[in-house]
Amino acid sequence: MPETDQLLLENNILSSSLLVGLFNHITDDKTLAVLDMGLASSSSVNFFGRTKCRLQFAGLIEPEIDSYNNQELSHAERVSLFKEILNLQPNTKIDIILFWDIFCYLSAPAIGALLEALMPNLHARTKAHSIGLLNARQKMLYSEYGIQAIDQLWQQPVNSIQPKIYPHSRHDFGRLLSYFSIDKSCLLSGNRVENILMINSQAN
């Protein structure tokens, strides 16, 4: 079955057995700090609107994403660029990061710079969600993502030109995460894998 047909048949909804793991350490009296690397999807806005939450959208997956992969940039310049785009306040500590498939569109140096830019705003119990390829030789569905429910992801195919894909193998991806490690993984349709990431104890 073609991947585009899968998207239509699923009515833009993907079942997720891992999402609940992002929230199992959150107490009712805590205001959740969430950083979404994508655009402001209505599904995520509605989902988090029912919680005590500070939700920030970074919108990194834009046409200018190639600028983060510019080979002429130094590491320090990349880190500075990400800090400027993210615009996180120094006293903000992020509880949940929704990376979605951003790592598929970033080179290894860009991933390192993004994670370093984030590090001052992370804490020991920060968790993250990401989507990657099961096989580095396969194509990535170009989509926007959001959270529909505690066990459902929302996806919407993007019609604009897909940025260059950087096909990191599972081994390389784990190595590139530096401050994070993969806690759990689960298969999604379209040759994709969703991951729950946790902070490495060495990073704190």
Query: Which pLDDT tens digit goes with each residue over 155-188?
Result: 999 888 899 999 888 888 888 998 899 999 999 8
Instruction: State the pLDDT confidence band at 140, using cuts at 50, 70 and 90.
Output: confident
- What is residue 28's predicted lDDT score, i.e. its pLDDT? 66
Amino acid at 183: D
Instruction: State the pLDDT confidence band at 26, using cuts at 50, 70 and 90.
Output: low
- CA proximity to 9, closest of 180, 189, 151: 189
**Tokens 């920030």, located at residue:** 56
pTM to 2 decimal places: 0.90
Instruction: State the pLDDT confidence band at 5, using cuts at 50, 70 and 90.
Output: very low
- CA proximity to 155, closest of 142, 140, 139: 142
- Class of domain 3-203 as given by CATH: alpha beta
Q: What phi and psi, each to the nearest 5 degrees, are found at residue 194?
A: -100, 145
- What is residue 11's predicted lDDT score, i.e. its pLDDT? 62
Mean pLDDT, residues 102-123: 96
Strands (E), the chain: 13-15, 32-36, 53-57, 96-100, 127-133, 143-149, 152-157, 180-188, 192-199
Does 15 score more than 70 pLDDT?
A: yes
Domain edges within the chain: 3-203
Does 38 score more than 70 pLDDT?
A: yes
**Contact indicator for 18, 125 with CB cutoff of 8 Å:** no
Does 9 score more than 50 pLDDT?
A: no
Query: 3-class DSSP state for residue 7?
Result: helix
Which residues contact residue 192 at a Cβ distance below 8 angstroms, ignoring those fewer than 6 apart?
101, 131, 132, 133, 134, 140, 141
